[in-house]
Structure 1
Amino acid sequence: MEENKTIISPIPGVFYRKPSPDQDVFVNEGDSVKAGDVIGLVEVMKNYYEIKAEVDGVIDSFLVDEEQLLDAGQEIAILK
């Protein structure tokens, strides 16, 4: 049985699952992702940083909500 992996925010800021308010989310729970796929954005002082999957997998769940304030090192999502 494979171990679940987590996607962690490298920086503090506000988490967004969409590239902009009028667009769809980058990925949904249950979606397959490849290493390097963008799963969300973190905003810091009006600058946006892509949060990417580091390994291939399936998004099992998001651990944070849209527009939630994150700490550096906080877990964002679980991959299985």
Structure 2
Amino acid sequence: MPTIPSPLPGVFYRRPSPDKPEYVSVGDEVTEGQTIGLIEVMKNFTEFKATAAGTVKEFLIEDEAEVSVGQDVAVLE
């Protein structure tokens, strides 16, 4: 199954702000290039985009968790 790795180190967020819904949830279909979250590095936010198309099977890290470069964040099926 394909995975979506983090392009940057930082903190992973699944929603654009605390009062907004998640970009995507488990079971959602995503397209390549679709935003699935944000990575925060030193108060700068970068959109985190899917590197492949598919259905989100699971997220491998929690919302607001630290992530490393290349660390798998989500699994697609």
How would you bin the TM-score normalised by the shorter chain? Answer: over 0.9
Q: CA RMSD in A?
A: 0.6
Matches for 1:18-57 after TM superposition, within 5 Å: 18-57=15-54
Which amino acid is the alignment partner of residue 48 of structure 1?
F
- TM-score of the superposed pair, with normalisation by structure 1: 0.93
Q: Which runs of 5+ in 1 are unaligned?
A: none
Deviations 1:10-54 (A, max 9, x none): 111000000001000000000000111111100000101111111
C-alpha separation in 1, matches of 2:68 and 2:51: 19
In structure 1, the residue matched to 2:61 is 64
Q: Runs of 4 or more off by more than 3 Å in structure 1?
A: none
Task: State how many pairs are aligned.
Answer: 77
In structure 2, the residue matched to 1:17 is 14
C-alpha separation in 1, matches of 2:73 and 2:29: 16
- TM-score of the superposed pair, with normalisation by structure 2: 0.97
Which amino acid is the alignment partner of residue 78 of structure 1?
V
Which amino acid is the alignment partner of residue 66 of structure 2?
L
Q: Which runs of 5+ in 2 are unaligned?
A: none
Q: For 1:78, what is the secondary structure of its paired residue?
A: strand
